[in-house]
Chain A
């Protein structure tokens, strides 16, 4: 493989796209949102369980390219147990990384495993694929409704 391609399709990314983590529905989710990229037909649904401000469980289902699937999988791992504000901050950093310039320093300490997606910045048309799950997560957080109990 050529260098930039090897960057884009690293082992970790391929692994997460082939065996995505947290890849299931959460039947009693507190919130969920559907993200759709009509350009490529990618579709992702993110489910949340919240304990006060904390994302106590996060999962997703959907279909998409390797980049969007791996990004969703890595995201669910990364934000689980974080507060809404921390998740938002992580998205900001992630977004800065994938829209940055090739060679820009990557904030690996805060991004952790998400840093494997830094190669996306070499392929501007794929930024949407990598960020779709994150936008969907934000929508799910914003959409949180009080669960009405039917007693």
Chain B
């Protein structure tokens, strides 16, 4: 029986004639919360990742606001020094390991199998394991709040993190978190690699892989190379703390610099682990809303690879103030500046994608353009810091805080928000409010710049980072007040998007399979997609399979197609 081009409804109708297989006593599909806890469906796991991550974004944001309140005026006593250090450590660690990474993992979990036309991830149960390991780590880490939170910063430098200076269990909770998120991320990365390598739709060669999937693949390779180092480092720290070993103890032949090397050999790739998926999101959003193909697909892929490769070689630019030979400093300066080249290639490709496009000014595009503009500022301050004589002046100052918030908040967070506005209809089947989205964009955009632009000046006028209070009598007070005010506007903008999302779950207009007329395969299936994702997987013939399909539909619906000149490329 052949039902070549009939839609599935007809298909089943024809099939009625067949003997039906009846099953008795089959396990009914689970409902309610157990369906979430026991799921191995990449979409459900992806949603859990994203909800988890957003919750921690709010928590980390509250910690940030508490710090900003404390720093708002000189000689403030809103929180005591220990609490400030705890907030600082929780905030940094939360934002990196419990917000940006899980958020990217969630988006990738949901989207990668759909974008490559697969039914699920390569190892669905391993995928669930990754998520649950992450939640265990988070539970213990935040459990430490009930006792004594870690206070050594997200970098936990030895000897500050040694037993002598951090006697409480907070650091151990931090170590536990790093171990578990580390294992979770490595297993997740292996899963993404296997999925993308093995499960692409027919016809989807490497040059037709969506750019978001490319960045997830490259990011996964970085995770596999970088995370084991931090896992090893925290293991050494753990044995130093509790079993009397001397890895970081200079009086018995160890070295605190060893910690710094191991940490930053992970730490610098970590920033690319956070930002590469953001690059991927931007590369998906821009062409859809510029209504023209991405400019320089191959250059964007190649530059992502170059960034990842160079990113593994520049870790010591975080250690310019340690005793190191000048040639080595110069090597790390040059290496870091080289990264600006592939990054610049990307920026120009994105600008060229927008150039002369028929721009659709959606909320997602707003956030993507915010990313473009502000990420460049963060990149430029990064190049300044990569010059070691400059870093000697600015190291550990608020200039650094400003720099990494420009790349992380204005970079990663803007991209995540672009991704949320872009993919929300696919995940939930409903549209978010565009006008609320644009308002949220302008609030976060202005709030962000008010908060962090002045911090460059703060750093230049000498305010060190990681201090809980400062004396009055100079201009620090004014800058800090501006920064604190800005942070509340930024927070309000974030809350607006959260509200928008929750409200749209019920009230948003129905989206349909492809509300944006987008390019990639996730829009081929219904919104939200069925558990098995696709009834049929089309053959992929370009980077933009959905555009091909729409054209084909158009041509099929025009009876005399031959009267029109062919428009297909």
Does B bind A?
no
